[in-house]
Structure 1
Amino acid sequence: MKKRGTCICTGGCFTTSLVFLALAITIFVLIQVGFFKETLDNYIREQTTLEPGHETYKQWVNPTIPMYKDFFIFNLTNPKEFADGAKPKFDELGPYRYREIRQKTILNEANGTITYLMNRSFHFEHSSENNYTENDIITTINFAFVTAVYNAQSFLKKTALQALIETVRPKPELLIKTSVHELLWDYTDPLLKRLHWARQIDTPHIYLQLNNSYSDRALPSMVHSGTVDSKETAQFIEWAGLKQLPYWKNEANFINASTSGIIWHSLMEKDEKLEAFISDVNRTFHIHYQEEVSVEGIDAYRFRVEDSDFRPDSNYHTDNSTPVGLIFLGVLQKPVAPVFGSKPHFLDCDPSLYNAVEGVSPPDRNRHDVVVDIEPITGASINVHLRLQINVNVTKTSFPFFPSFRHVTPVIFPMFYLDEHATIDDGLKSKLNEMVFVPLTAVNSSIWVVFGLCCFISLLTGLCTLRWCIKLYRLRDRQHPERIRLLDKTDS
């Protein structure tokens, strides 16, 4: 009876050891072939699509992460000398900070697409760190006057414009003094009002920035939700009713495959070429991987704008003589204006642009480049700095037309630059942890814990099997002592 019990224990331990060894091998094989990784990846793809109830969807519709738009104004400090032909000299004022509120109104969701209306508004924030206010008076170029002169190309148009200027009081000058608020959001003057009265322009106001009246608010836009193909999450199908822009003559016109730069598809790879459509300038930019960074303790991939996106191209009034680093933005104004965009402080521009001005600090890539830091698992932008400088091309005009322009030295005149930025806060960081990082860590840890437990049990029961086998062998010898005597005689 004792021998039978020992046999049962030996067999049970051996069977248990084999079962857990098989489980350990199975788990190891599944890990090696990527079964668990693919399962987790599918979970991430599902959770990061724009589907009602998902955190990604909530953040896309109504972002809780604080978003700001900082303006840095170039205040001209030598207006008389500049008008007489000297280099312009500036003081940089700012930041003038505005809190940006984004809100989408969902119109329709069907077949993996979302149709919506976009509303953005900006609210000035007073800061205890500086004394800047929207009422600060600055000296800058008369954007309206320069634009009017720019459009008076022929002798007949110049004559007509000069005659109209004679009726304006006070007469327009090359330079103006205005408040920061008026410059950015709602600039008008007697010349603009007279041009509007003469039906030369559609409105007596210039909006270098728009507040609560974006064109993408009036017409619906459409994006992929990612539920059909997660790679297409948040990519535009249409923007403001357009499938392609009418402004450019290169790839900047295409909005499909681009996002707004805030949310991307999940499981990002370093070698991906991404496209961001920036509605401020109605243009698509290409961004590429630069380096790995850490933002608030979260690992991220840093992307920056392709240098080729800030190169002269064949659109409208740019040609091979246009300095490197400028993109023509005049087509966004009505009438067309001599406005160029660049990176702040002429970063990555032809050195002649920076050397033509004084008082502007040297460009700094950390403070003046376009940066998008993407958390690669979820595809969320956790640190964004979309930076752009607005410049006006000031040129001479021949006498007797427009004497204010008679002596000025031709220059790309910087007016201001903006930094639209957002960085992950504690609230969104907690939600990311809850939604992705904690579950992933728990599942990965559990898999290896189960693998290790199976190996341990298999080893332990294997040792027990060996122990019971030894015991069974000794028990057999005690039950048959004649075998021991026979063995002893044989040895002798």
Structure 2
Amino acid sequence: MKKRGSAVCTCGCLFATLLFLGLAIAISVLIEVGFFKKTLDDYVRKEATLEPGHEIYEQWINPTVPMYKDFYIFNLTNPNEFARGAKPSFKELGPYRYREFRRRKILSAGNGTIKYVMNRTFHFESFTDNYSENNMITTINFAYVAAIYYANTSQLQRDLQLLIDTYVRPIPQLVVHTTVYELLWEYTDPLVNELYKRKLLSSPYINLQLNNSYADRVFPSIIHSGTENSLKTAQFIQYAGMKELPFWKNEANFINSSTEGLLYHPLIHKSEKLQVFISDSNRTFHVHYQEEVSVRGIDAYRFRLVESDFRPDPNYLTGNNTPIGLIYLGILQNPQVPVYGSKPHFLDCDKSLLEAVDGISPPDRSKHDIVGDIEPITGCALNAHLQLQLLINVSQTSRYFEPFNRITPVYFPIFYVDEHATMDEELKSTLTKLVIIPLTAVNSAIWVALGLCCFMSLLTGLCTIRWCIKLYQFRDRTGERIHLLLQKTES
């Protein structure tokens, strides 16, 4: 009976050893061939799409993450000296912070696309007691500059000067004093009003920024939801009624494959070059991987703007002679004006642009670059800074506009804007619940199962050896007893 019991235990342990060893090998093979990774990736692709009922969809419809638009305004401190030909000198004021609210109204959805219009509004939030929308700012008379530019390009210098001398009171000056609110959202003056009366302008106001843009509210945008192809999640098919922008002469016109910068497709790779559409410039830009970062304890990939995107375009009129680091934005205006965009503080610009002004500190890439920190599994931007500096080309003109004949030509900075959003606790909780906990749990379960199978295989293997030794010892003792019994029988 003992021999039989030992044999049964030995066989049982051997079977268990082989079973657990086989399971460990099977799990290892599945890990090696990527079975579990593909299963997890399929889960992520399904959950990280813009589909009703998904957390990311609800965040996209009505974002809870605080979004802000910070304005840093360059206040001219030496207007009299500047008028006599000196470099303009500035003091940077700000940030003047506006909370940005977005709400999308879905018009239709299906076949992997979503059609919507968006209500986007800005509300001033006092950043410090020193900054108010009523703060007075001294800056270039950009309406006057724009009118002169239009007159020069249309050979209407004499007509404009006659109009000013006869009808505009007070006569426009080289610089203006206005409030922050008027500068950003609703600038007007006697010259602007006179041009509007004569239907040379479509509005009695010049809006350097738009609040609750008509185009956003009325003309629909269409994006890919990602349900049919996750690699296209949140990418534009149409923006504000346009499938292709009419402004540029290069790929900046193409909105396909670009997003608004807050959501990309799931499972981002470091080797990718992503596209972002920046509405302040009506233009598509490219960003590429820079480094790994952590945002509130969640790992992310930092992507930053490709420097070549801020290179001169062979773009109509003044665009041909644009210095390195500037993009010509006059094409966005009707009529065109000599307005340009750059990175803040002339980052990555021709050094002559910064040397032509005083009071602006050298650029700091950590503060002034266009970056996005993207959680690579879901494609959600945990932190994004879309920045643009606005300048106007102020140059000497003909004899008709005497105040401008004494100045030194300069690309005059007016302000720069930093549109940014950083993950809050609610989004962190959503990502943790949606991705981090499930993926961590599944990955942990896989490795625990592999470790357990290896451990049990080792344990049962040792038991098999132990029972084999016992069985061998039992056989030896049985042989000795038989030998002794035969000796007694013979005697």
Query: Do residues 287 (structure 1) and 292 (structure 2) align?
Result: no
User: Per the alignment, do residues 410 and 24 of structure 1 end up closer, same or farther by CA in structure 2, a change over 3 Å counting?
Assistant: same
- Give the alignment of 1:53-132 within 5 angstroms: 53-127=53-127, 129-132=128-131
Q: Distance in 1 between matches of 2:147 and 2:171?
A: 14
Q: Any conservation in 1 of the 2:293–2:301 contact (CA below 8 Å)?
A: yes
The residue number in structure 1 matching 2:342 is 342
1:415 maps to what in 2?
414
| Inter-partner Cα distance in structure 2 for 1:214 and 1:142 | 26
Q: Distance in 1 between matches of 2:215 and 2:154?
A: 35
> Matches of 2:469 and 2:213 in 1, distance apart?
88
Measured after TM superposition, the shift of residue 251 of structure 1 is 0.7
Q: 1:277 deviation in Å?
A: 0.8
Aligned residues: 487
Query: How far is 1:156 from its partner?
Result: 5.3
Task: Report the residue type matching 1:342 in the other structure.
Answer: S
Q: CA deviation digits over 1:251-283, x for unaligned, max 9? A: 110000100000011111111011101112110
TM-score of the superposition, structure 2-length normalised?
A: 0.96
Q: CA deviation at 1:484?
A: 4.4
Residue 104 of structure 2 aligns to a residue whose secondary structure is strand
> How far apart in 1 are the matches of 2:486 and 2:398?
127
Cα 1:186–1:487 change in 2 (3 A) is farther
Partner of 1:457: 456
Shift of 1:486: 10
1:148 positional shift:
0.6
Alignment match, 1:185: 185
Q: Which amino acid aligns with 1:398?
A: S
Change (3 A) 1:124 1:319: closer
> Partners of 1:130 and 1:301 in 2: how far apart?
36
Which stretch shifts more, 459-468 or 13-22? 459-468
1:424 aligns with 2:432: no
Structure 2 counterpart of 1:347, which letter? Answer: L
Contact 1:260 1:278 in 2 (8 A): yes
Structure 1 residue runs of 4+, over 6 Å off? none
CA distance in 2, matches of 1:31, 1:86: 69
Task: Write the letter of the residue equivalent to 1:6.
Answer: S
Partner of 1:314: 314
Aligned residue number for residue 468 of structure 1 = 467
CA-CA distance at 1:483 after TM superposition: 4.9
Structure 1 unaligned segments of length 5 or more: list them. Answer: none
1:152 partner SS = helix
Q: Given residue 431 of structure 1, which amino acid in structure 2 is its aligned partner?
A: T
1:185, 1:211 within 8 Å by CA — same for their partners in 2? Answer: yes
Matched, 1:218 2:222: no
1:312/1:318 contact within 8 Å kept: no
**Corresponding residue number in structure 2 for 1:439:** 438
1:321: Cα distance to partner?
Answer: 3.0
User: How big is each residue's C-alpha offset from its partner over 1:439-460, in whole Å with a ceiling of 9 and x where there is no partner?
Assistant: 1111111111111111111121
C-alpha distance in 2 between matches for 1:65 and 1:111: 28
Judging changes above 3 Å, is the alpha-carbon distance between structure 1 residues 463 and 168 closer, same or farther for their aligned structure 2 residues? same
Q: TM-score, normalised by structure 1?
A: 0.96
Given the alignment of the two structures, is residue 34 of structure 1 paired with residue 1 of structure 2, yes or no? no
Q: For residues 487 and 150 of structure 1, what CA distance do their matches in structure 2 show? A: 126
Q: Which amino acid aligns with 1:272?
A: E
Q: What is the alpha-carbon distance in structure 2 between the residues aligned to residue 458 and residue 382 of structure 1?
A: 44
3-state secondary structure, aligned to 1:443: helix
1:423 Cα shift? 1.0
Question: Is the CA contact 1:17–1:459 (under 8 Å) kept in the aligned structure 2?
Answer: yes
Comparing 213-222 with 192-201, greater Cα deviation is found at 213-222
CA distance in 2, matches of 1:117, 1:324: 36
Q: Distance in 1 between matches of 2:153 and 2:385?
A: 42
Equivalent pairs: percent with the same residue?
A: 64
1:362 matched residue in structure 2:
362
| CA positional deviation for 1:359 | 0.8
Deviation at 1:311, TM superposition (A): 0.7
**Cα displacement string for residues 30-89 of structure 1 (whole angstroms, at most 9, x for unaligned residues):** 111111111111111111111111111111111111110000010111111111111111
CA distance in 2, matches of 1:194, 1:339: 22
Residues in 2 aligned to 1:379 and 1:67: alpha-carbon distance in whole angstroms: 18
> Partners in 2 of 1:131 and 1:214 — Cα distance?
32
Question: In structure 2, what is the Cα distance between the partners aligned to 1:383 and 1:460?
Answer: 49
The residue matched to 2:188 in structure 1 has which SS? coil
Question: Matches of 2:242 and 2:319 in 1, distance apart?
Answer: 27
Alpha-carbon RMSD:
1.8
What displacement does 1:345 show? 0.8
How many angstroms does 1:217 deviate by? 2.0
Which 5+ residue runs of structure 2 have no aligned equivalent?
A: none
